[in-house]
Chains A and B, each alone.
Chain A
Amino acid sequence: MNNTTMTTDPLLLYGERFESRLMLGTSRYPSPSVLIEAIEQSAPAMLTASLRRQTGSGGEASQSFWNLLRQVKVPVLPNTAGCHSVQEAITTAEMAREVFETDWIKLELIGDDYTLQPDTLNLPAAAAALIQSGFKVLPYTTDDLVLCQRLVDVGCQAVMPWAAPIGTGKGPINPHALRTLRERLDVPMIVDAGLGLPSHACQVMEWGYDGVLLNTAVALAQDPVRMAQAFAQAVLAGRTAFLAGTMQAQDNAQPSTPVLGTPFWHQA
């Protein structure tokens, strides 16, 4: 996207500069070509990817995806999706670092398979271990303020609270928690998971969030390429609005047209 705001207002994570504030997942697209076009049209800062068991003929999809990642030349953010223990997350992160040749890791530690809610009690320990091993950890977390503070305390230079459970597309289900979190923490924060509409992305950016990470809302749109564009524009609009400073909402009507000189006015 060619926009002045994007080039003069970079996203800074762990000291690295990103021109976009949109991070895009790579799953569930109708085809690899649609994914490529969605990437080209939305110019995301990073693409999320994962690792799964592959042997023999099952490796075709993996090879194809690997070639796609090399083609698009967007930094990869590997995830630890599906990990249920600290050790699983650490080992998966180490494996991802070797495969993708990056220290970035989206830390997912699942505590409940039904809601895919993060394991809030063990997440800080996993993050701490990974940071000690040199990873740049972006933890997927709930919107719990104290948990996010603990993640910062153990060295996370950014956190990624959910808007709603993964893949639901509900948008921010607890605006108060997200806004409180934004007010209380100074680190970069990226809303990850649960966004369904560009207006959701715009909303959290207006609240001062530093970026959004989404997948399903684009991949399952009827036209994913156009939706990727829409999200990129919404993120930019929300960010620009935040920088502009929004007006204070009023309880009572305030005429925007000057009252002085109103024609046909008369004392009631």
Chain B
Amino acid sequence: MPEQTIHVRINHAPHELPQGATLSDAITSVGIRPPFAAAVNLQFVPRTQYPLHVLQNGDQIELIAPITGG
């Protein structure tokens, strides 16, 4: 029986993850290094919640890191 998957967007790019994947799994899949912060569906998710935040099909994940600014 094929593994169930979900489709999410990480920084607007489509990604496929296993059913039950957490935000930690999504972050690992793109290889971003700290420091960064995460939001799912426009809601901030503290880093302590990454392993507990189970993703849903269609979730929009934003991973943002420091850059220069004015």
Distance A61 CA – B33 CA, assembled complex (angstroms): 12
Choose from B13, B31, B44, B70 the contact partner of A94 (Cβ within 8 Å): B44
- Nearest residue in B to A192 (C-beta to C-beta)? B70
- Which positions 25-70 of chain B face chain A at CB distance < 8 Å? 30-33, 35-39, 42-44, 46-47, 62-70
A-B contact count (CB 8 A): 107
- Nearest residue in B to A140 (C-beta to C-beta)? B70
Choose from A29, A62, A88, A95 the contact partner of B67 (Cβ within 8 Å): A62
- In this complex, how many residues of chain B approach chain A with their Cβ under 8 Å: the count is 27
Is B10 interfacial (CB 8 A cutoff)? yes
Q: Which residues of A contact B5 (CB under 8 A)?
A: none
The CB with the most chain A CB atoms within 10 A, among B31, B39, B44, is that of: B44
Q: Which residues of A contact B38 (CB under 8 A)?
A: 95
Is B11 interfacial (CB 8 A cutoff)? yes
Q: Which residues of B contact A65 (CB under 8 A)?
A: 66-68
Residue pair A50, B39 in contact (C-beta under 8 Å): no
What's the minimum C-beta distance from A84 to chain B, rounded to whole angstroms? 12
Choose from A56, A61, A69, A96 the contact partner of B30 (Cβ within 8 Å): A56
Distance A98 CA – B66 CA, assembled complex (angstroms): 11
Distance A63 CA – B65 CA, assembled complex (angstroms): 9
Residue pair B64, A53 in contact (C-beta under 8 Å): yes
Q: Which residues of B contact A147 (CB under 8 A)?
A: none
Residue pair A99, B36 in contact (C-beta under 8 Å): yes
Residue pair B35, A99 in contact (C-beta under 8 Å): yes
Residue pair B66, A53 in contact (C-beta under 8 Å): no
- B interface residues (Cβ-Cβ under 8 A, vs A): 10-13, 30-33, 35-39, 42-44, 46-47, 62-70
> Could you list 7 examples of A-B contacts with CB < 8 Å?
A27-B70, A50-B69, A54-B67, A62-B36, A92-B64, A95-B44, A98-B44
Knowing that A25-B70, A92-B64 touch, tell me 13 more A-B residue pairs with CB under 8 angstroms: A26-B70, A28-B70, A51-B37, A52-B67, A54-B32, A54-B65, A54-B67, A65-B68, A96-B37, A98-B46, A99-B37, A99-B65, A193-B70
